[in-house]
Amino acid sequence: MEKKKIVDLIKLEVLGCINPKDSEALRSAKETEAEFPWKELGDYQNLAVLLPIALKLGFPTSELKDKVAMKLYEIRDEIKAKLDAKKAQEEPEPLVLVEEPKEVEEEEIHLEEVGTPALKEVEIPQVSVAERTEVKRTVEEPVARIDHRIKAAVDKDMVERVVREYLKSNLEDHLNSLKQSISKNFILSLIFFIITLVLIVVLFLKG
């Protein structure tokens, strides 16, 4: 749109005398025209508001001030809410703690319950990247922990089995031989004890 045409519409707008079609054209020009005459718009806005100062000044009743005060009092809750919102905006955002899932007992773990289907069941709504990351983290972290525990449980079983097999294959023979040597030693000790006892009795009788 030509600058002259825009300025003509500005003149009508500041007087509040613009039809809806021209008003829309001007609104569009404000949004799209790189060379929009903002200075002219400002000058004409400042000019239009000078018209009332040529009027003879009048004054309302003195009670009006109290009436305004009463109206403001009536909207105090609304203002309080705005103030609270403003305060909340100024304060740093509190950290959102993601509730840790309860530790799952090893005995209760069933592989079919904790696989990827659990992830598929979680529908991620249309949210921001930050929110998506949070949702993803909230869902994936517990699953990862459960997977880790399952792996740990499986590894423990395996270790126990390997240890048992090792004990069985390598140490059982040693244990048997140890048991045999213990019984031999026990018999020898008993023989020596009897001999010693006989010698003591012989010496006592001679003396």
Partner 1 sequence: MAAGNSLTDAEIMQKIASYDSKALEELYDRYTPILYTLIKKIVGDKETAEEVLSDVFVIIWKQIDQYEFTKSNVYTWMVTLARNKAIDVMKRKRGKEDREYTEEYEREKIVPKLSREIEAMELEGVLGMREKVETAMGSLTEAQRYVLELSYYEGLDETGIAQNLKIPVSTVKSKLQVAISNLMKKIAKANQ
Alpha-carbon span 204 to 207, nearest angstrom: 5
Of residues 34, 50, 203, 205, which one binds partner 1 by CB under 8 A?
A: 50
What are the CA-CA distances from residue 45 to residues 9, 32, 49, 68, 164 (Å)?
12, 21, 7, 28, 93
CB of 14 closer than 8 Å to CB of 45: yes
Nearer to partner 1, 61 or 128 (CB): 61
Instruction: Give the count of residues interacting with partner 1 (CB under 8 A).
Output: 43
CB of 21 closer than 8 Å to CB of 1: no
Buried b / exposed e along 23-32 (16+ C-beta atoms within 10 A): eebbeebeee
To partner 1, the closest distance from the beta carbon of 77 in angstroms equals 12
Of residues 34, 53, 97, 203, which one binds partner 1 by CB under 8 A?
A: 53
Residue 51 in the binding site for partner 1 (CB under 8 A): yes
Using CB under 8 A, which of the segments 17-25, 105-113, 118-126, 156-164 binds partner 1?
Answer: 17-25
Of residues 2, 31, 34, 56, which one binds partner 1 by CB under 8 A?
A: 56
Q: Which of 194, 175, 195, 172 is nearest to 183 (CA)?
A: 175
Residue 102 in the binding site for partner 1 (CB under 8 A): no
To partner 1, the closest distance from the beta carbon of 94 in angstroms equals 23
Residues in the site for partner 1, rule: CB under 8 A? 8, 11-12, 14-19, 38-39, 41-61, 64-65, 67-68, 71-72, 75, 78-79, 82-83
